[in-house]
Amino acid sequence: MPSLAGPSVVKRIQLAYNIVNGVGTKDDKLHDLSQVVGSGLHISEAVPCAFGIVALNQEDPLQAVIDAVNIGYDTDTIATIVGSMVGALANVNDSPISGLFNAVEHANEFNIVELANSLVDVVNTNEGKRT
According to DSSP H, which parts of 1-131 are helical?
A: 9-21, 26-32, 43-56, 61-70, 75-89, 97-108, 112-130
Could you tell me which residues are annotated as the binding site for Mg(2+)? Answer: 74, 76-77
| pLDDT confidence of residue 26 | 97
Note down pLDDT in tens along the chain; length 131 residues: 566 678 899 999 999 999 999 999 999 999 999 999 999 999 999 999 999 999 999 989 999 999 999 999 999 999 999 999 998 888 777 767 788 888 988 999 988 889 889 999 999 888 777 65
Rounded to two decimals, the pTM is 0.80
Amino acid letter for position 101 = F
Backbone angles phi, psi at 79, to 5 degrees: -65, -35
Could you tell me which residues are annotated as the binding site? Answer: 74, 76-77
| pLDDT confidence of residue 80 | 96
| pLDDT confidence of residue 110 | 87
**Distance set, CA 32 to CA 17, 36, 38, 52, 118 (Å):** 11, 5, 8, 10, 41
